[in-house]
């Protein structure tokens, strides 16, 4: 199994999806968006949330690649926004080494 940072670094998605996620991440609100996506309370810590979101994104991307009729680009972008937001939060809470 790959670590979180490797999984995030290896995410390669179409430019339009990635660009939409970058535009949306500044408005990401964990309490609202993450709760809606994961449907859990209390919310998991950022690392645990990222693992769940990455698994969810992989499933959504499989639907996209299969040209599945249930695929929704807006949902895919929401998941990518949450991944980016949680990754930023995880990075901000990591202890700094000197």
- Tell me: the pLDDT tens digits for 6-21? 888 888 999 999 999 9
Predicted pLDDT at 8: 83
Q: Is 94 left (phi over 0), alpha (psi -120 to 50) or beta?
A: beta
pTM for this prediction:
0.89
In which band, very low, low, confident or very high, does the pLDDT at 22 lie, cut at 50, 70 and 90? very high
> What's the CA gap between 40 and 7, in Å, rounded?
23
Domain boundaries, the chain: 4-15+25-93
Diameter of the chain measured on Cα atoms: 50
3-state secondary structure string across 54-89 = HHHHHHHHHHHHCCCCCCCHHHHHHHHHHHHHHHHH
CA distance 68 to 60: 10
pLDDT tens string 56-79: 999 999 999 999 999 999 999 999
């Amino acid at each position: 199994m790959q670590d979180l940072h490797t999984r995030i670094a290896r995410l390669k998605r179409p430019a339009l999806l990635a660009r939409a996620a970058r535009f949306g991440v500044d408005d990401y609100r964990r309490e609202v968006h993450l709760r809606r996506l994961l449907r859990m309370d209390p919310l998991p810590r950022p690392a645990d949330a990222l693992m769940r979101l990455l698994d969810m994104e992989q499933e959504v991307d499989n639907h996209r690649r299969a040209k599945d009729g249930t695929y929704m680009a807006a949902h895919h972008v929401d998941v990518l926004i949450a991944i980016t937001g949680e990754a930023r939060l995880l990075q901000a809470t990591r202890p700094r080494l000197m």
